[in-house]
Chain A
Amino acid sequence: MGNAELRVDGNAVGGVLGEIFVHEMTSARVKCEGCSAIEPLGAEHVYMQAPGIVVRCCHCESVLLVITQRDGSYMIGFQQIAWLET
């Protein structure tokens, strides 16, 4: 599994997303455009040891979200998210 140990899950981005969104986001459901799987964000794979945070589909590892931060401002890149539902 290589460095699978380095991955965590969507619970780890609950704080960052909680600063941006009013609704609690770890229980928000997302549909992956890569494989059509629907999962709560809390279940998705998160890689945080990087210049930013990458959220990937826990089934196919497609990139769903990229979150970078600069000073107090966040940038969220939406990649393979078909939709997100809170």
Chain B
Amino acid sequence: MARAALLGRLNWTLGEVVELIDETPRVRSIVLDVPEWPGHLPGQHVDIRLTAADGYQAQRSYSIASAPENDRVMLTVEGLPDGEVSPYLVDELRPGDKLELRGPIGGYFAWDARLGGPLFLVAGGSGIVPLMSMLRHRAVTESSVPSRLLNSSRTRQDIIFREELEHLAARADGLDVFHTLTRRQPDGWDGYARRVDAQLLAETAWPPASMPLTYVCGPTSFVETVANALVLLGHEARRVKTERFGPTGG
């Protein structure tokens, strides 16, 4: 793993918003120019800190969506109705604004093509973000590591990066994408239509004997359900890496 992204004390620094992209009705990508950005590993995140004029501060972590091969850092944020930081990022932020951030952070929940596979990525809602960095990196480096993504979303409109995932799967370079929609499915939907359970995982995961590297990301209860089910299916716990985002809608 690239040591440059893993050594050295972290500090708060300022990035500048250069572009904003609406991904879904509630999700927005923020492209940042971060001076002296050391680069990052797919799967890493940054901490964002907001400060009000009276000194009041709030801080949250957001996964990096962009591949390390990009110069700019893209964060993809879901606006939570009761949130404190995410509504600001999704509704208020404008190009030219500065954002205080600390990162890149993480080494446990990180993957790059040198680690090989087969790779199994399991995403719940906005948990797709760090996994997208892995898939974008995989595509840009033209890796053919056998990979599968199981992506859980509420409705088709809520699938983040839906079109890009279609393009990635269409490259026929060893990536298969499975979707499940838990709340509502469009007419003619041929993907899964329920919350991820043991049976769904048994059908989509690599066989345990192939020793896959698995990354599970999303709300805490989603991650714990999936990770526990994978271990019960015979996957080695050490090869199932998790990143919990905390409560849904909190």
Contacts and interface: CB of A to CB of B under 8 A. Distances in A.
Contacts of B45: 11, 14
Interface stretch (B30-38, B175-183, B199-207, B237-245): B237-245
Interface stretch (B76-84, B145-153, B159-167, B216-224): B216-224
B107 A26 contact: yes
A57 to B, nearest CB: 14
Nearest to A26: B108
A7 B102 CA distance: 22
A12 B62 CA distance: 10
Contacts, number: 87
Contacts of A15: 10, 46-47, 61, 102-103, 105
Contacts of A18: 9-10, 102, 105
B34 to A, nearest CB: 15
B220 A7 contact: yes
Contact of B8 (A1, A12, A22): A22
Given A5-B219, A8-B220, A19 B246 contact: no
Contact of A8 (B103, B106, B245, B248): B245
Nearest to B250: A5
Interface of B: 6-11, 45-47, 61, 102-103, 105-109, 219-221, 224, 241-248, 250
Interface of A: 1, 4-12, 14-15, 18-27, 40-43
